Amino acid sequence: MVALKWLDKNFEICCMSVLLAIMTVLSFTNVVMRYCFNNALSWSDEVCCYCLAISAFLSLPATIRNRSMIRVDTFTIMLSKPVQKIITIVCTVIVGAFTALLVKGGLDLITVTAKTGQRSPALQIPVANFYWIMTICFVLAVLRAVQVVFLDVTGKEKEQ
């Protein structure tokens, strides 16, 4: 149970850490290969680019879960705590609804790229696979928004 609680709070951060490690190792290896052996890896830049993009998509559910989205709260800090809580819940619901629309757009994008058979230049991986990962991150963001609203409404996280 302790492992599940830890994973609940840190899943996206762990995934982003692994992606950062992959990018670091590949970039360093490519620099060494290029300048020491005069033979660069042709595919490492593409992998680094995909890792960076995936980590950007993973940051959305992470910021929702950690309640660290950028907000302008000049007006809301003048309100009472219960009203602030209601506004926070409404904003999280709006973010969840918008992210659900992004899921729909992601599925449409997957359909189009799967029909065209577009592949990445160096690795020849179907680009639709990358869009699947993007869409899964949007689904995770929707689930995180639902989770945060549930925790805010019930006040369960404050008990832990």
Spans of all domains in the chain = 2-159
Task: Share the mean pLDDT of the chain.
Answer: 93
Residue 154 CA, chain-centre distance (Å), reads: 25
Report field, pTM of the whole predicted structure over 0.85? yes
Strand partners, 119: 126
* Paired tokens of 105: 């757009």
Cα 76 to Cα 8: distance, rounded to the nearest angstrom: 29
**Stretch 7-12: mean pLDDT:** 91
Cα 18 to Cα 69: distance, rounded to the nearest angstrom: 22
pLDDT for 160 beyond 70:
no
Contact between 27 and 49 under an 8 Å Cβ cutoff? The reply is no
Read off the pLDDT of residues 36-77 as tens digits, 9 standing for 90 and up. 999 989 899 999 999 999 999 999 999 999 998 888 788 888
